[in-house]
């Protein structure tokens, strides 16, 4: 792990390998450790940079306004990287899209897995799925909230917990408890959003865009993957990753890594 100051905050990141640079952005229920199944394989061909977003993992959270996409661009500037490929999962995919729209010259390619986009509104179907699968949870009980979020996102709506590797569930809950603490702290800081948001700007993504999701992820997420791939001028919709929900890179590293190696410049 290395640390570097970016826009007034100290961000933690891993930096492995040599070659064309790739930045991996983690999900909001996780941290940079979720990419453990990709780093070594990608590093055989690329310089792989895996940060903790501000406030998450080992990165700091000063009480000053910021935007995650500005931090990504600031990290590239601090590392002397004029252009990189961005890979994002879930919330990390949202940040990747926002970065590509705000700083299009800095992004050579974009790979998105289970990614929402800024400005997207969840359907009533998704809200009902939360009620059916999780229900009411005390937000101050991080263990219970993490268990609920992992049931919703990592297990997914089409599977039962016993269908999923218990070690994956344990690790996801441990990461999510840490992420929940980060989100509480982030709620006290002014976090800037892309304006206008990405949802109606997908046609502006002029770089190659690979879009995928887990076959067991939420219907909203899979439909959104279809939309991104259809509206981005150079979008490609990869087949859904079988036997995986929202954290496909962690749950099924082999097909995700293979798809990334085939796609990345």
Query: Which candidate, 73, 141, 137, 60, places its Cα nearest to that of 101?
Result: 73
pLDDT exceeds 90 at position 264: yes
Instruction: Show the domains of the chain with their CATH numbers.
Output: 2-121+190-263 (3.40.50.1820), 124-185 (no CATH)
Question: Out of 16-20, 82-86, 142-146, which region has the weakest mean confidence (pLDDT)?
Answer: 142-146
pLDDT exceeds 90 at position 138: no
Question: Which position has the token pair 């007034």?
Answer: 8
Q: Would you place residue 73 in the very low, low, confident or very high pLDDT band (cuts 50, 70, 90)?
A: very high
Q: Would you place residue 135 in the very low, low, confident or very high pLDDT band (cuts 50, 70, 90)?
A: confident
Q: Which sign, positive or negative, has the C-alpha torsion 210, 214, 218, 219? A: positive
- Going by DSSP bridges, is the β-strand pair 2-6/9-16 parallel, antiparallel, or unpaired? antiparallel
The pLDDT of residue 139: 79
Spatial separation of the C-alpha atoms in residues 151 and 141, rounded to whole Å:
15
pLDDT exceeds 90 at position 265: no
**DSSP code for 214:** B
pLDDT exceeds 90 at position 134: no
Which helix (H) or strand (E) is 21 found in, with range? strand 20-25
Question: Which position has the token pair 């509104």?
Answer: 121
**DSSP code for 263:** H
Q: What is the pTM of this model?
A: 0.97
Give the neighbor-by-neighbor strand order of the sheet with 209-212.
Answer: 2-6, 9-16, 46-51, 20-25, 84-89, 107-113, 209-212, 235-237
Segment 155-208, tens digit of pLDDT: 999 999 999 999 999 999 999 999 999 999 999 999 999 999 999 999 999 999
Spatial separation of the C-alpha atoms in residues 220 and 120, rounded to whole Å:
10
pLDDT exceeds 90 at position 133: no
Segment 27-72, tens digit of pLDDT: 999 999 999 999 999 999 999 999 999 999 999 999 999 999 999 9
Q: Which sign, positive or negative, has the C-alpha torsion 101, 54, 190, 153? A: positive
Q: Would you place residue 16 in the very low, low, confident or very high pLDDT band (cuts 50, 70, 90)?
A: very high
Spatial separation of the C-alpha atoms in residues 190 and 210, rounded to whole Å:
31
16 beta partners: 48
C-alpha distance from residue 147 to each of 29, 121, 130, 183, 237 (Å): 11, 24, 13, 16, 31
Helix ranges (H only) for the chain are 39-43, 68-78, 91-102, 124-133, 142-149, 166-186, 219-231, 248-251, 253-263
pLDDT exceeds 90 at position 136: no
% the chain with pLDDT above 90:
95
Question: Which position has the token pair 């792990």?
Answer: 1
Higher-pLDDT residue of 110, 134: 110
């Amino acid at each position: 792990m290395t640390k570097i100051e970016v826009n007034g905050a100290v961000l933690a990141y891993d930096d492995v390998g040599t070659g064309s640079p790739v930045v991996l952005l983690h999900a909001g229920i996780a941290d940079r450790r979720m990419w453990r199944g990709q780093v070594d394989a990608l590093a055989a061909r690329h310089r792989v940079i895996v940060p903790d977003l501000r406030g998450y993992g080992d990165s700091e959270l000063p009480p000053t306004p910021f935007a995650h996409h500005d931090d990504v661009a600031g990290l590239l500037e601090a590392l002397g990287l004029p252009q990189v490929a961005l890979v994002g999962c879930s919330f990390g995919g949202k940040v990747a899209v926002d970065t590509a729209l705000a700083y299009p010259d800095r992004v050579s390619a974009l790979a998105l897995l289970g990614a929402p986009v800024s400005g997207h509104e969840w359907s009533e179907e998704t809200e009902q799925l939360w009620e059916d699968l999780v229900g009411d949870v005390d937000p101050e009980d991080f263990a219970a909230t993490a268990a609920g979020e992992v049931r919703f996102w990592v297990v997914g709506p089409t599977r039962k917990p016993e269908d999923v590797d218990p070690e994956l569930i344990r690790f996801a809950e441990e990461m999510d408890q840490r992420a929940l603490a980060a989100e509480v702290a982030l709620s006290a800081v002014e976090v800037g959003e892309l304006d206008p948001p990405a949802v109606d700007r997908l046609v502006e993504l002029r770089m190659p865009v690979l879009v995928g999701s887990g076959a067991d992820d939420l219907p909203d997420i899979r439909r959104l993957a279809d939309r991104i791939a259809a509206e981005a001028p150079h979008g490609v919709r990869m087949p859904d990753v079988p036997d995986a929900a929202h954290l496909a890179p962690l749950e099924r590293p082999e097909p995700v890594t293979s798809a990334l190696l085939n796609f990345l410049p």
